[in-house]
Amino acid sequence: MRSYLAAKHPHLVLAGLGVLSLLLLYFLVGIRMDNSIDVFFVQEDPNLQFYNEYRERFGTEEFFLVCFAKDDAFSPETMELVKKVSEGLLELDELQQVESLAKVYDIWKDAREEGGIEFDLETFRTDTLNSPFYVGLLVSETGEDSAIMAQLSPKGMADRPSVVEKVQEIVAR
């Protein structure tokens, strides 16, 4: 008949496993993940070189979206909400650029006013939904949902959790 340590001394085995787990947990705390794009490419890769040139020209590639799932992205109420949140985001030093449907509308409206062309939200809807620049980025194909795209500044990249809290406060207003 064989003797099994775990059956004869279960408390000793559990204590040993607990000590081993704590020891491994101590080392687990020091593990850091590097998910930067540089680790996925060989340094001479043309795709990485193109990406690095992009970053030099345009700055950070770090951005986030604030999405609005409404019945109509072009309703006066939704446009006003998007405008209010966009303006709040523009006040944050942690963001260097904010793009939204409300900002596009203001530019579009000003251009039409200067040209003496009539404007309304329905015409704006038609123009926007026919534009590949905005569909899929600032507005859904159906015109029901919209988004604000905000690009982080270096200060924002350094403290992302703080940015998230500030954005949540702005959206909750």
Which of the four pLDDT bands, split at 50, 70 and 90, describes residue 9?
A: confident
Q: Which of 134, 147, 128 is nearest to 78 (CA)?
A: 147
Q: Tens of pLDDT along 59-117?
A: 667 888 999 998 999 999 999 999 999 999 999 999 989 999 999 999 888 888 888 88
- Give the count of alpha carbons within 13 A of 66, CB side only: 26
Task: Please give the model's pTM, rounded to 2 decimal places.
Answer: 0.65
Residue 153 gets which letter from DSSP?
P
Distance of CA 66 to the CA centre of its chain: 7
Burial (CB < 10 A; 0-12, 13-18, 19+), residue 171, is middle
Say how far apart CA 111 and CA 170 lie, in whole Å. 29
Cβ atoms of residues 141 and 129 within 8 Å: yes
Inter-axis angle of helices 76-90 and 160-172, nearest 10: 140
Cβ atoms of residues 63 and 150 within 8 Å: yes
Q: Where are the domains of the chain?
A: 1-32, 61-172
Sheet holding 63-69, edge to edge: 63-69, 145-152, 95-100
